[in-house]
Amino acid sequence: MEPHLKTNVVIIGAGLTGLVTAHYLLKSGISVKIVERNNRPGGVMQTIKEQGFTIEAGPNTGVVSHPEIVELFEDLKADCTIDIANPEAKKRLIWKEGAWHALPSGLFSAINTPLFSFGDKFRILGEPFRKKGTNPDESIAELVVRRMGKSYLNYAIDPFISGIYAGDPAKLVTRFALPKLYKLEQTYGSFIGGSIKKKSEPKEERSKKATREVFSAKGGLQNLIDSLVKSIGTENILLNCKDVAVSNDNKIFNTAFLMGNIPVSLTSEKIISTAGGKEIDSLFPFIGQEKIQAIKQLEYAKVIQVALGYRQWKGISVNAFGGLVPSKEKRRILGVLFPSSFFENRAPIGGALLSVFLGGIKHDEFYSLKDEEIQLLVEEEIGEMLNVKGIKADVLKIFRYQYAIPQYTKTSEQRLEAISFVQKNYPGLILAGNIRDGIGMGDRIKQGRAIAEEIINK
């Protein structure tokens, strides 16, 4: 007979979003089962330890952008500790015309930097007096050129967007992709004036926890995943679940799937999908085509990440967060992070760990390269850009993400409307994950907690 289980909530996906949601629900005594296709929890997050290197696959670091991040670590403190990056992480490098230059952090360095044009350096003085935008669908590129000038777009924002979204600032719509920046202009009329005013405004005690520092977990992000799994209990996380499909019968959801060859079904009053946008139709065949298409059209950037570990570092100084490469420079990598410079114990003493990113929305073609071709390309680029030509890395690992980073472009309005419509029409069904509410780990933690609280407080 087919195993049939009952639970209050089913969560599809044991990535960070699903695990955080389950952690808070279970803490309140609500029963949860997570249904995961993979053979391990964590989704795109995974830490690999090899030859003295602590290598992150997927995200290397997050930003303490919401108090929920700090509160999650407080909650898990018996098993996991937040790791805040040392001050080196404040230094960011940008590649221009054959060399790295520090991204200016203050007025004096902004005047002296070779990154921005002479005209734009003067133009910036007028930024507080420029009119605010009126087009709600303005792209990040349009906004930045309008307020700050083209060289800021090319040598600050374009590489910054590559680093976060692996995306194209001309396609990302500011109010969806960088909502805080959008609100800054809309509320205060200026980035510079708004930032100054915001600093002087009194802050609620809780929001002071959002320090905007760079974080990881001590020993690697896997420790955050492992601690969540421990709190949830492995009996509540069903792995290797194939062909997951949900049906809906009079406000009760039935989630059917195969575990090995055994068909299993779970009934619940609530179902939360954290699975992303691509398989929404096979997961929820009862949702109408029009709404499904509006969600499915969300485009994802493909990203290849290459970790390089050197037991003895002989290249240029890597005492910084990392280096980003503007599209205009026509290099083959998007950027490189230096995790061993700002977190302890990520590489043997005297060594260095690099995390190189390539591909993204502008360079889909790299995704189809073979591993040998990627290795060669990265060795050539890093060899030249960090002065380690001919020196082989002691450890080299390649990770591929076909649906790495969702792109919040102008289709976002339609997608968000479709999500609201579906949730209203099927009470108990929650469409979550990175199809809404932001792309970073902090956004996922905030969303997971908010969903759990909504269910708990109903």
Ligand X SMILES: Cc1cc2nc3c(=O)[nH]c(=O)nc-3n(C[C@H](O)[C@H](O)[C@H](O)COP(=O)(O)OP(=O)(O)OC[C@H]3O[C@@H](n4cnc5c(N)ncnc54)[C@H](O)[C@@H]3O)c2cc1C
444 binds ligand X (CB under 6 A): yes
Out of 64, 93, 229, 439, name the contact with ligand X by CB under 6 A.
439
Q: How many helices (H) and strands (E) does the chain have?
A: 17, 21
Nearest distance from residue 401's CB to ligand X, in Å? 4
Nearer to ligand X, 37 or 218 (CB): 37
Out of 9, 10, 11, 16, name the contact with ligand X by CB under 6 A.
16
Nearer to ligand X, 84 or 391 (CB): 84
Instruction: Mark residues 404-423: x for contact with ligand X by CB under 6 A, - for none.
Output: x-------------------
Q: Which of residues 29-88 bind ligand X (CB under 6 A)?
A: 35-38, 43-45, 58-62
State how far the Cα of 41 lies from the Cα of 26, in Å rounded to an integer. 17
Contact predicate 290/252, CB 8 Å: no
User: What single-letter DSSP state applies at residue 157?
Assistant: I
Using CB under 6 A, count the residues that bind ligand X. 37
Nearest Cα neighbor of 353 from 89, 53, 46 is 53
State how far the Cα of 255 lies from the Cα of 38, in Å rounded to an integer. 17
12 binds ligand X (CB under 6 A): yes
Nearest distance from residue 164's CB to ligand X, in Å? 7
275 binds ligand X (CB under 6 A): yes
244 binds ligand X (CB under 6 A): yes
Nearer to ligand X, 36 or 168 (CB): 36
State how far the Cα of 43 lies from the Cα of 74, in Å rounded to an integer. 22
Q: Could you tell me which residues are beta bridge partners of residue 47?
A: 56
Give the pair of three-digit tokens for residue 297. 């059209």
Q: Which of residues 174-213 bind ligand X (CB under 6 A)?
A: none
3-state secondary structure 258-318: EECCEEEEEEECEEEECCCCCCHHHHCCCCCHHHHHHHHCCCEEEEEEEEEEECCCCCCCC
Alpha carbon separation from 143 to 138, 169, 177 (Å, rounded)? 6, 10, 12
Contact predicate 446/436, CB 8 Å: no
Nearest distance from residue 36's CB to ligand X, in Å? 5
Which are the contacts of 89, defined by CB distance < 8 A and separation ≥ 6?
61, 213, 214, 320, 321, 341, 342
Nearer to ligand X, 190 or 273 (CB): 273
219 binds ligand X (CB under 6 A): no
Nearest distance from residue 245's CB to ligand X, in Å? 9
Nearer to ligand X, 21 or 190 (CB): 21
Q: Which amino acid makes up residue 334?
A: L
Give the pair of three-digit tokens for residue 333. 């990598």
441 binds ligand X (CB under 6 A): yes
Phi, psi dihedrals of residue 20, rounded to the nearest 5°: -65, -45
Nearest distance from residue 144's CB to ligand X, in Å? 21
Q: Which of residues 276-335 bind ligand X (CB under 6 A)?
A: 276, 279, 283, 303, 305
User: What single-letter DSSP state applies at residue 369?
Assistant: S
Nearest distance from residue 405's CB to ligand X, in Å? 6
241 binds ligand X (CB under 6 A): yes
Nearest distance from residue 279's CB to ligand X, in Å? 5
Alpha carbon separation from 224 to 74, 75, 215 (Å, rounded)? 12, 11, 12
360 binds ligand X (CB under 6 A): no
Helix (H) or strand (E) holding 98: none
Helix (H) or strand (E) holding 102: strand 99-102
Which part of the chain contacts ligand X (CB under 6 A), choosing from 14-22, 94-102, 287-295, 370-378? 14-22
341 binds ligand X (CB under 6 A): no
13 binds ligand X (CB under 6 A): yes
Contact set with ligand X (CB under 6 A): 12-18, 35-38, 43-45, 58-62, 241, 244, 274-276, 279, 283, 303, 305, 401, 404, 433-434, 439-442, 444
